[in-house]
Amino acid sequence: MLKWFRRKFKKKTEETPSAEGTSPETPVQETSSPEPPPPETPSLATPVTESVAPSAEEAAEEKKLWDRFKKGLTKTRERLREGLAELFEVDRLVDQAFLEELEELLITADIGIETVNRLLEPSRRKLLLGEPLKVSELKRSLREEILRMLDLPTPPFPPEASPAVVFFIGVNGVGKTTTLAKVAWHLKERGFSVLAVAADTFRAAAIEQLVTWGERVGFEVIRQAQGADPGAVVYQGLEAAKARGVDVVLVDTAGRLHTKYNLMEELKKMVRVAGKVVPEAPHENILVLDATTGQNAVSQAKLFGQAVRLDSLILTKMDGTAKGGIAITVAHLFRLPIRFVGLGEKMEDLAPFEPRAFVQALMP
Amino acid sequence: MFENLSDRLEGVFQKLRGKGKLTKEDVERGLREVRLALLEADVNYRVVKNFVERVRERALGAEVLESLTPAQQLIKIVHEELIRTLGETPAPLDLGGPRPVPLLLVGLQGSGKTTTAAKLALFLRKKGHRPYLVPADVYRPAAIDQLKTLAEKVGVPVYDTQPSENPVDIARKALVEAKAQGRDVVIIDTAGRLHVDEAMMAEAAAIKEAVSPREVLLVADAMTGQDAVNMARSFQEKVGLTGVILTKVEGDARGGAALSIREVTGVPIKFLGTGEKIDALEVFYPDRLASRILGMGDVLTLIEKAQETFDLKKAQEFREKLRRQEFTLEDLREQLRQVRKLGSLQEVFGMLPGIGKKIKQIPFDEKEIVRMEAIINSMTRQERLNPRIINASRKRRIARGSGTTVQDVNRLLKSYEEMRKLLKKARGARGLERLAQRLLRAI
């Protein structure tokens, strides 16, 4: 195991290209998947005017996104694959030591202990009862189990409403503003008109950051001065969106630690205000999670979820070495589907999340 | 969310009470809890393994086996080992060498470098230094504006970085500029970078090469998970570090990443970022983080923070009163006023052992403090000193006077009574510890 640990560093640079080439499942999955339902396929989901987008273009676009997704996850996959490949090399019988190594692998991917235990519990029980369990069987059941945790019903994106109001929520520094810009770019590529609301009036220059992104990507930003009441900005933003008839409004909220009562109250208020301007808004509240975050993400999801209704997750910074396993735990515990994965700092560095592909990538 | 370690160990050893001596197996069960607690605190798997090994060695010695209070004994060993791992004593900033002394801040995106740079500048200014801030993040939109705004807020001059400049040139020129202006410390805020981004890591190394900083400080998020080891090792190998600043400590993250980072880099943790307010930066004390990782609160920080903000004389009076268990509504009012100066209530209560975890879930509105103060203001001095005399008619008068309702007055009196009871139990340091335990069991 130590070997694996050390090797991680050495290998990632030279192995990256070969991994792309030898990954046997992924291309197959891409072409022959019986039901390729990436959540963003705008068939029924999108407003009527947009739904006539040529499907070839859609497919090409999807492929582009898919490639990026694959590329971004390469490191993650390499890590886990190396570890798992070593483990699964010989189809031998599972023993205690094997389970322990597997546990280490899963925990170092930041999958929470509770989830890891649930994943390994059936195998442990079998082992205890003296039933023979082959490595290949364990692998299959593990993959299925993780998939079950991730495979959650994903409503269409953007939500079906006009305007559709989407809130970006999360603790400080997870990348809410950058992610919002990427989502805006993604939506614009698909032909939606987008408006952003700079409701982070707390952090110095947060508004400027969003405005700069707006210039780069090409979306309007509704803003007030720093220190303004975020509820008021939301109100003004949604009124503007209604007046201009835009399709989607993206609301950038200030980073807030989920343990701060006042800030959570402020968030609740913003959500209430949104609902007063546009019926049933916000239509989607996205919790933005940093892939490098550890077990605290569970607490984040829990407390944010107590304050406002959470609908989905976006996992950022997946282009590093963090495996983002906490997303599995959060998805599992709170039944929150992962919408997108952030894979870099450029506006196109965002990919729709595909559970099947994620698990496939993690478990070769 | 997480059970704290003391609870867990109590649970394990409770069953063994009255058993007399413990066996090796009993200790192993305790160690298993230690392991789980550390993993849930995000300490890296491998670091946990080594750590538990060290604890096991000591625990299987006479210390635990012969002890009458094995749980406490084991916690003590874990606590001591944690402190030893975190580095026994606080490590101050190294500001030696020719002036101005450059300090370099590096880290992942979103770890809080820019905010930390400003906090550090304020911290140094308060200590009588003449710091200078340098924004060298030319990549993230508006990052330069952010530091310039913050610099103004903390009253520290800032280098006028242009986004078109190269970060290495910026650092070099800023150093010259700082010298010309007679500044003595230069804090360079670099762009967030992924540790696997070779080009960006090379840039950080180049900045370091160009200005030879006295300190290269890794700014790391307390919420970081298992990947902290990879990140820290990479920064250590490719840039070279002299210290760590752990940010976002005021949340409910256990901060186990600190242990991982310390173990793989060997450099000391120097500061903790403890809030969004610009003065929320604290010198790092290993023993306090050790308590936190174990979920045992942080009384020392609280007292120290109080000393910094409070009128020292008043603080002493207050402590004296606590000791004598005289805690009147007048004192409560005084405390409310002080607390408002001190920062958010949650932050303050969060540092109290045992109470911290629960109080975070109690809705605490800052405006409530103002309301509470108004209610107390509407009482007569006699009422404040002896609340027992407050009858229904007095309550109505107080409510009218403070623009609140009788229910509000009742609520205040009730919380005051609860606080008094709490404090009564918490007499002396030993008492506090016992109180924490009792509370945890009761809650």
Residue B443 pLDDT: 35
Residue B287 pLDDT: 81
Quickly state the pLDDT bin for A82 (edges 50, 70, 90). Answer: low
pLDDT at A108 over 70: yes
Q: What does the block give as tokens for B30?
A: 């305790």
d(CA A324, CA A76): 8
Using CA coordinates, name the residue in chain A closest to B252. A259
Q: Which CATH class is domain B303-442?
A: mainly alpha
The whole-number average pLDDT for the span B209-215 is 95
Residue A269 pLDDT: 95
- Indicate the range of A160-164, B46-50, B222-226, B369-373 predicted with least confidence: B369-373
Residue B234 pLDDT: 95
The whole-number average pLDDT for the span B298-321 is 56
Strands A194-199 and A248-253, sheet pairing: parallel
Q: What does the block give as tokens for B294?
A: 């174990």
Identity of the residue numbered B398:
I
Interval B263-309: pLDDT, tens: 999 999 999 998 888 999 999 988 877 877 776 655 445 555 555 55
Beta partners for residue B101, in sequence order: B185
Residue A187 pLDDT: 96
**Under CATH, which number does the domain B3-86 receive?**
1.20.120.140
The alpha-carbon gap from B139 to the nearest alpha carbon of chain A, in Å, equals 9
d(CA A303, CA A259): 7
pLDDT at A343 over 70: yes
What per-residue string of b and e applies to A276-296 under the rule 16 or more CB within 10 Å gives b?
A: ebbeebbbbbbbbbbbbbbbb
The alpha-carbon gap from A187 to the nearest alpha carbon of chain B, in Å, equals 21
Helix axes B113-126, B143-154, angle to 10 degrees: 20
Residue B358 pLDDT: 46
- The answer to whether A262 contacts B365, with C-beta atoms less than 8 Å apart, is yes
The whole-number average pLDDT for the span B340-350 is 56
Angle of CA points A54, A58, A60, to nearest 5°: 120
- The answer to whether B365 contacts A109, with C-beta atoms less than 8 Å apart, is no
The whole-number average pLDDT for the span B211-226 is 95
d(CA A37, CA A34): 9
Beta partners for residue A164, in sequence order: A248
Identity of the residue numbered A359:
V
- Indicate the range of A233-247, A303-317, B73-87, B296-310 predicted with least confidence: B296-310
Residue B341 pLDDT: 61
- Percentage of chain B with pLDDT > 70? 74
DSSP B163-198: TTS-HHHHHHHHHHHHHHTT-SEEEEEEPP--TT-H
- Percentage of chain A with pLDDT > 70? 74
- Percentage of chain A with pLDDT > 90? 43
- Percentage of chain B with pLDDT > 90? 44
d(CA B287, CA B291): 6
Strands A220-222 and A194-199, sheet pairing: parallel
Interval A237-268: pLDDT, tens: 999 999 999 999 999 999 999 888 889 999 99
Residue B162 pLDDT: 93
Looking at per-residue confidence, does A359 or A361 come out higher?
Answer: A359
B182 C-beta neighbours (distance < 10 Å), count: 10
pLDDT at A74 over 80: no
Mutate to test the interface with A, among B4, B201, B226 (most CBs of A within 10 A): B226
Looking at per-residue confidence, does B254 or B86 come out higher?
Answer: B86
Quickly state the pLDDT bin for A159 (edges 50, 70, 90). Answer: very high
Quickly state the pLDDT bin for B220 (edges 50, 70, 90). Answer: very high
Residue A29 pLDDT: 39
Cβ–Cβ under 8 Å, residues A287 and A256: no
d(CA B314, CA B328): 14
Interval A14-65: pLDDT, tens: 443 443 434 433 333 333 344 444 443 333 333 333 333 445 555 565 555 5
Mutate to test the interface with B, among A114, A172, A317 (most CBs of B within 10 A): A172
Domain ranges in chain B? 3-86, 101-296, 303-442
pLDDT at B48 over 60: yes
Is the omega angle on the peptide bond into residue A158 within 30 degrees of 0, that is, cis?
Answer: yes
Quickly state the pLDDT bin for A319 (edges 50, 70, 90). Answer: confident
d(CA A342, CA A313): 11
Q: Was B344 annotated as part of a binding site?
A: no
d(CA B230, CA B235): 9
Cβ–Cβ under 8 Å, residues A222 and A228: no
Residue B328 pLDDT: 80
The most distant pair of C-alpha atoms in chain A lies apart, rounded to whole Å, by: 69
- The answer to whether B360 contacts A110, with C-beta atoms less than 8 Å apart, is no
Among B141, B224, B230, whose Cβ lies nearest the Cβ of A294?
B224
Cβ–Cβ under 8 Å, residues B278 and B314: no
Task: Let me know if domain B101-296 sits in CATH 3.40.50.300.
Answer: yes
Q: Can you tell me whether residue A1 is helix, strand or coil?
A: coil
Using CA coordinates, name the residue in chain A closest to B36. A113
Mutate to test the interface with B, among A105, A211, A261, A303 (most CBs of B within 10 A): A261
Q: Was B428 annotated as part of a binding site?
A: no
User: What one-character DSSP code corresponds to residue A185?
Assistant: H
Q: Can you tell me whether residue A195 is helix, strand or coil?
A: strand
d(CA A138, CA A95): 11
Residue B78 pLDDT: 83
Measured CA to CA in angstroms, residue A136 lies from A87, A120, B226 at distances of 10, 14, 27
Q: What is the mean pLDDT of chain B?
A: 81
Residue B441 pLDDT: 44
Q: Where are the alpha helices (DSSP H) in B190-311?
A: 198-211, 228-238, 256-265, 286-293, 299-309
For residue A262, list chain B residues with Cβ-Cβ distance below 8 A. 344, 365-366
* Backbone φ and ψ of A7, nearest 5°: -65, -25
Among B145, B346, B360, whose Cβ lies nearest the Cβ of A208?
B145
The whole-number average pLDDT for the span B97-116 is 94
Cβ–Cβ under 8 Å, residues A351 and A66: yes
The alpha-carbon gap from B275 to the nearest alpha carbon of chain A, in Å, equals 9
For residue A252, list chain B residues with Cβ-Cβ distance below 8 A. none
Quickly state the pLDDT bin for B436 (edges 50, 70, 90). Answer: very low
pLDDT at A120 over 70: yes
The whole-number average pLDDT for the span A82-111 is 76
Q: How would you class B97 by CB atoms within 10 Å of its CB: exposed for 0-12, middle for 13-18, buried for 19 or more? A: exposed
The alpha-carbon gap from B112 to the nearest alpha carbon of chain A, in Å, equals 7
Interval B142-187: pLDDT, tens: 899 999 999 999 999 999 999 999 999 999 999 999 999 999 999 9
Among B36, B196, B254, whose Cβ lies nearest the Cβ of A321?
B196
The whole-number average pLDDT for the span B107-118 is 94
> Is-same-fold flag (B3-86; B303-442)?
no
Looking at per-residue confidence, does A5 or A241 come out higher?
Answer: A241
- The answer to whether A261 contacts B363, with C-beta atoms less than 8 Å apart, is yes
pLDDT at B2 over 50: no
Q: What is the mean pLDDT of chain A?
A: 79
Nearest to B275 by CA among A77, A279, A172: A172
pLDDT at A7 over 50: no
Cβ–Cβ under 8 Å, residues B222 and B253: yes
